[in-house]
Structures are given as structure tokens and as C-alpha cells.
Amino acid sequence: EAAARALFERDPGYFSAQPRLRVSALEGPADVTEPARAAVQAALRGDEPPGSLRRLDLPAAALPLAQLAQRLGGSAALALRMTPVDQLIGPLLLGERRLYLMVHERQADAPRYEDVAEAVRSEWLRREAEAALARLLEDLRRSASIRVADDAR
């Protein structure tokens, strides 16, 4: 139990649900000149979108990554997954369109150990089994003698 708790304390985020993100997005045609980054950042924070970009209609509430993937596409959701708040993402070229994104809020569920204890114990056991298998294979490699059969030459 102590080893499982230590594993949890090293990386509690590994056992939490995916974050919910409040995001703004702009899109425009891929074949037009790219606008200035400062203008795109200002538009993602609420100013008028520059040039041919238009604001995508996203809920004001934070959404899980799965819903963002449905609305924006899988590659956009992947880009959002680890991006810090207020950092411009883009342009992402998605077929015929260009997409710019910004995370305004990241809501992460920080689980209590008691709530995820079974998952932590399972992960600890899996890691221990992998380590034991790796040690066994290494021992077998060191101790194995290899002979080439006469008919294999």
C-alpha cells in the first residue's frame, strides 16, 4: 500500500480525469495571407477577428477534451491537451481551413488517493510486473548459451 501511495503522490495527475477547458477559436480559409499574431491573440481574447477569420461558436463553459475533439477536430484537441492558459495555438491547417485556438481556463480534477486507490494499486502492480519481466529477460540473455546447429551453416 505504501508503494502505491508513493506512486500516486509522485504523479496524481496520471490518475485524474481529463481536464475541462474553456477555449476560444477562430477559423478562416487556408489559402489567404496569415494575419498578424498580435491581432489573432487579441481576437481570441474578445476583440474583432482580423481579415477573413471568424469566431467559432463554442460554449462559454469549460468542455472535456472529447467534446472539443468533436467540435474542433482531433488534432486541435491534441494541441489543446497540454497547452498552457493564454498561449496561442496555430495556425493549424485542417484541410481547407486554418484554425487558431486559445485556452482561457483549465479545470483539472485533482483526485484524492482514496477515490483512485484501486487504479493506483493496479498501475503499481502492472509496473512491478513489467520490471520483473525485464529483469528476467535480462538474466536469461546473460545466462543463455547459444550454439549454432551444424546444419544451419
pLDDT digits (tens, 9 = 90+) for 108-122: 766 678 877 888 899
Average pLDDT over residues 131-142: 92
Query: Number of H helices and number of E strands within the chain?
Result: 5, 5
Instruction: Copy the grid coordinates of residue 13.
Output: 495527475
pLDDT for position 94: 84
Q: Is the dihedral of CA 89, 91, 94, 98 positive or negative?
A: positive
**41/107 Cα distance (integer angstroms):** 21
CA neighbours within 13 Å on the CB side: how many for 4? 15
pLDDT category at 54 given cuts 50, 70, 90 is very high
More confident residue, 101 or 81: 101
Report the b/e string of 62-91 with b at 16+ CB within 10 A: bbebeebbeebbeebbebbeebeeeebbbb
**For residue 138, which amino acid is it?**
E
Average pLDDT over residues 31-51: 90
pLDDT for position 149: 84
